[in-house]
Amino acid sequence: MTLIDTQRRFSAWLAGGHIDVSAMMGPRAGRGLAVYRHAVGATLTAALRDSFGKTHAWLGEKAFDAAAVAHIQIRPSTSWTLSNYGEGFEATLAELYPYDPEVAELAWLDWSLRRAFEGPDPAEIDPADLAEIDWDAAILCFAPALAWRTIATNAAAIWRALSVGETPPAAASLDGPAGLIVWRQGLEPRFRTVDPVEQAALESALRGEDFATVCEMTARADPLGDPVRRVGELLAQWLGEGLIVGVI
């Protein structure tokens, strides 16, 4: 048997395939094979626990590890780096907990914070560069580690409580959908919820629309408000938080 055949058979067996690999092994291989199979499951489960700390705390060890085992069976690792293995765990949890949407939302938050932690470093914006901007045509450039999504539950409040060792609130639906953003400011991953008006402005800007269109989208989201003032406030906030790293 060639090396490539040996490695492919061994891999398929490790991934859970019903393949007999004992014939290609030396004597007393059964006990050693068990060591390798155990190590793969333990390594991947440990990686998920590490990346999804608050989800682990929310579900409890037994339920989390059961979800990890299911994930390992459904989505074997394909990346060279273990740190990518959390990709898709949120989807596994959404399938396992269809009536507990806060679980997948917590997992999204855990994972997005982890990605932001080691994501690309944002450029530093120079305030002097903003002086000559033609704002109507301006395009905002956001921090590369920024992630956002719509949430339906109080997952953000649960995460915050767990992060400081407080008893988390019971899972609950929000009055209406809200946005949740994750980014990194300096070396620190951060997150916060955004209201529907900010979400409309942010989504427009993240689509690469010019600033005039961002203002228009903000006005549509809050027809009774003062869009010029609100957009000005949002711009100042985004700059202060390091969300915007350039304007072109």
Partner 1 sequence: MTALAPFAGFGLGMRKPHYPAFLAGEVPVDFVEVISENFMVEGGRPLHVIDKVREHYPVALHGVSMSIGSAEGLNRDYLRRLRMLADRVQPLWISDHLCWTGAHGFNSHDLLPMPYTREALEIVRRNLDQAQEALGRPMLLENPSSYVTFAQDEMPEWAFLAEIVRSSGCFLLLDINNIFVTARNHAFDPAEYLAAVPADRVRQIHLAGHSQGREGLLIDTHDAPTPDPVWALYEGAIGRFGPVATMIERDDAIPPLETLLDELAIARRLATSKAGAMAA
Closest CA to 245 of 135, 161, 122: 122
The one among 20, 35, 167, 176 contacting partner 1 by CB under 8 A: 35
Q: Can residue 31 be called a binding residue for partner 1 (CB under 8 A)?
A: yes
CA atoms within 13 A on the CB side of 135: 8
Q: How far is the CB of 48 from partner 1 (least distance, A)?
A: 12
Instruction: Decide whether 120 or 225 has the Cβ nearer to partner 1.
Output: 120
Instruction: Decide whether 39 or 172 has the Cβ nearer to partner 1.
Output: 39
Backbone phi and psi for residue 37, each to the nearest 5 degrees, phi listed first: -65, -40
Q: Can residue 167 be called a binding residue for partner 1 (CB under 8 A)?
A: no
Site size toward partner 1, by CB under 8 A = 47
The one among 18, 20, 62, 81 contacting partner 1 by CB under 8 A: 81
Instruction: Decide whether 35 or 128 has the Cβ nearer to partner 1.
Output: 35
**Contact range with partner 1 by CB under 8 A, out of 23-31, 94-102, 129-137, 226-234:** 23-31
Q: Can residue 242 be called a binding residue for partner 1 (CB under 8 A)?
A: no
The one among 104, 106, 116, 235 contacting partner 1 by CB under 8 A: 116
Specify the DSSP class assigned to residue 207.
T
Q: Which residues contact 94 (CB under 8 A, 6 or more apart)?
A: 101, 103, 104
Q: Can residue 47 be called a binding residue for partner 1 (CB under 8 A)?
A: yes
The one among 12, 212, 228, 236 contacting partner 1 by CB under 8 A: 12
Q: Can residue 40 be called a binding residue for partner 1 (CB under 8 A)?
A: yes
Specify burial of residue 183 (Cβ count, 10 A radius: 0-12, 13-18, 19+): buried
Are the CB atoms for 156 and 176 separated by under 8 Å? no
The one among 18, 20, 62, 79 contacting partner 1 by CB under 8 A: 79
Task: Please report, as residue ranges, which positions from 180 to 219 form the binding site for partner 1 (by CB under 8 A).
Answer: 184, 187
For 105-172, give the DSSP string: HHHHHHHHHHHHHTSPPPPPPPGGGGTT--GGG--EEE-TT-EEEEEEESHHHHHHHHHTTPPPPPP-
| Strands laid side by side in the 188-194 sheet | 147-153, 173-185, 188-194
Binding residues vs partner 1 (CB under 8 A): 1-4, 6-8, 10-12, 14-15, 23-27, 29, 31-36, 39-40, 43-44, 47, 76-83, 85, 116-121, 145, 184, 187
